[in-house]
Structure formats: structure tokens, C-alpha cells
Amino acid sequence: MYFDELAELFERFAADTDCIYRTWAQAAVPSRGRRAVDLGCGSGRFAGMLSGRYDQVLAVDISAREVEMARVKHPYPNVDYQVRSLLDVTPETDAGADTWYLLGR
């Protein structure tokens, strides 16, 4: 898949732009909640922030390579990384999430 081939490049881009987005994300994400969904989690750059604020986090991305990178580099016990299209994640199939995020790669 296209995204798998570019996973390392996306990860470097995420690291390079983290200073732009992290402050915004920290301010925008509530400080506490029960369950969050990270749509398009990429290599998991926001997983730590979400796992510290939510009891459970579902993190999905279409790229199997990026999800594997996230599992290895950001192994939080309350984060469930899944290879899925964000279009397949719905309240009906993933009930119980009180907050949904499209934070980006």
C-alpha cells in the first residue's frame, strides 16, 4: 500500500512538524475522559498524550507499517492500535467513545 511505502517519511514529517501541532493538540484535547478514538494515528505521535488523558484509546490507521511502528515506539497498555480505514470506524462499530480525534500523522 502507498502509505506503507512512505511510513518512515511520514514519521520524519511528523517529528519535524510536532512543534507546530503538539501545543494546539494539548490545548484542544480535554484533560480527562473515558475513551478516545485517534483517526489516522500514523506512527502514534499523539498516543502518549491521549493515553495519559483517557482510560482507553482506539488508534487506527490504514497503513500496517505505521501501526506497527506505533506499537513498537509507543506501547501504551491502554492504546489499541488497529489497521483500519478511518471510514470504517463508526459509533455503531466502535461504541463508547466519548471523543473522536483526527489529529493527523
Q: Which residue has the cell 511528523?
A: 14
In angstroms, the CA 76 to CA 51 distance is 7
- List C-alpha distances in Å: 43 to 72, 74, 98, 100: 9, 8, 23, 18
Domain that holds residue 58: 2-101
Which neighbouring-strand residues pair with 55? none
* Number of domains composing the chain: 1
Calpha distance 54→68 (Å, rounded): 22
The enclosing domain of 28 has a CATH number of: 3.40.50.150
For every one of its 105 residues, what pLDDT tens digit does the chain have, with 9 covering 90 and above?
667 777 777 788 878 888 888 888 889 888 888 988 999 999 999 999 999 999 999 999 999 999 999 999 999 999 999 999 988 988 878 866 666 666 655
